[in-house]
Amino acid sequence: MQITTRLEFDAGHRIPSHKSQCRNLHGHRYALEITLSGNIIVQDGLSDNGMVMDFSDVKAIAKRTVVDVWDHAFLVYEKDAVVLEFLRSLPDHKTVIFKAVPTAENMAAEAFRILQAEYTDTYGNSLKLERVRLYETPNSC
């Protein structure tokens, strides 16, 4: 059985070598979809009985490890020296440094890496992170 939930956050980034507008500083309203698979938990009296995982728990983990970290931050490539210097000049600015250019693809891969370790098979139901989908715009993920 698979379940999917969606969370949204806002963040800024730029793609330094992009041939078009994305080389400029800009932001997006991102949507993060998380798909988990596992067996339905069958344990009377358990809060998660009848579920793969409680959606509120799925969201709480993603919020703590990814969404709250990236929300209202500027996501910057570690080799984008000009922007890093500028961001460091802003007192208390929320900046997240990426080892790769913060494209939707690289951000989704990083979210998957972070979340894969967080969703564990707590109840013996073979819980597994199947997919992370990151929408950069309403029509592109």
- Given this model, what pLDDT does residue 24 score? 95
Rounded Cα distance, 93 and 70, in Å: 12
Mean pLDDT of the chain: 96
* Domain segments of the chain as ranges: 2-135
The DSSP code sequence of 45-93 is T-TTTTSSS-HHHHHHHHIIIIIHHHTTEEEEETT-HHHHHHHHTSTT-
- Given this model, what pLDDT does residue 120 score? 87
**In the predicted structure, residue 67 carries a pLDDT above the cut 90:** yes
Percent of the chain topping pLDDT 70: 100
CATH code for residues 2-135: 3.30.479.10
Tens-digit pLDDT profile for residues 78-123: 999 999 999 999 999 999 999 999 999 999 999 999 999 999 887 7
Backbone phi, psi, residue 39, to 5°:
-80, 150
Structure tokens at 128: 């597994």
52 pLDDT tier (thresholds 50, 70, 90)? very high
Q: Which amino acid is at 125?
A: N
**In the predicted structure, residue 38 carries a pLDDT above the cut 90:** yes
